[in-house]
Structures are given as C-alpha cells and as structure tokens.
Amino acid sequence: MAVKTIAGVEVKVTEDGYLEDMTQWNKEIAKEIAKELGIELTDKHFEVINYLRNRTIAKEALTIRSVGKSGIVDIKQLYELFPKGPLKFSSKIAGIPKPTSCI
C-alpha cells in the first residue's frame, strides 16, 4: 500500500494504482487517473463509472457482460470508451477495487 497525491488529494492506493478506499474518490481524481491511462473523460464515461460504483456498493461482482446489459453501453461501446481495459481501466478510474472476475 502506498499514499499518492492525485488531483491535490492524498489517497491510499494499491501497488497497481487502484484506490484502497472508494470513498476517497472524486471526479477530479477520476480525470487525473484517466489522463494517465490516455483517456479523456466524457459524460458517457461518468455514466459507466457511476454504474460501476453503485454496483460495487451493492457488492455485486462486475463483468463486462453485466455492464453490457446495464442499458448504458453495449460491450463494443465499453471497449471504445476504455480501450484495452474495459473493466480494469474503468474500475481504476471509478476508484473501486481491481476486478476479480474472469469474464
């Protein structure tokens, strides 16, 4: 575990750069993590991010399949929003733990 300053806030992060505590998250932190991953966040990105955060609070396991059935984006659009990391990058930006699902 390490402490990192993201968008002016000191946050606890894992070795992989995922937030340890999802309550430390805010939109500015999301934007800065996204920038490191080469992603410029749009409203659509935030819709997905909010969905992921809500599902995590509800303690549901996340898969790209479930996001694809959320009604917000289909799987193809999810890949377009978060290229090369539809679940990993979106989770990182959403400030939630690294996904543990295989699908």
Partner 1 sequence: METKEKKPLEKVCIICAKGNLEDVYASLVMANGAVMEGIETNLFFTFFGLEGITKKSMNHLHTATTGNPAMKMPGGLPFPTMLGGLPGVESAVSSMMRKQMDELGMPPVDEFLEMITAGGGTIYACKLAVDMFKLTKEDLSDEVKDIITIGEFYELCDGDRTQIIFT
Task: Supply the residues annotated as catalytic.
Answer: 102
d(CA 57, CA 70): 16
User: CB under 8 A: which stretch of 8-16, 17-25, 46-54, 80-88 binds partner 1?
Assistant: 80-88
CA distances from 73 to 21, 28, 29, 32, 39 (A): 26, 23, 23, 23, 17
Residue 79 lies near partner 1 (rule: CB under 8 A) = yes
Residue 52 lies near partner 1 (rule: CB under 8 A) = no
- Interface residues toward partner 1, by CB under 8 A: 61, 63-66, 68, 74-76, 79, 83-88, 101-103
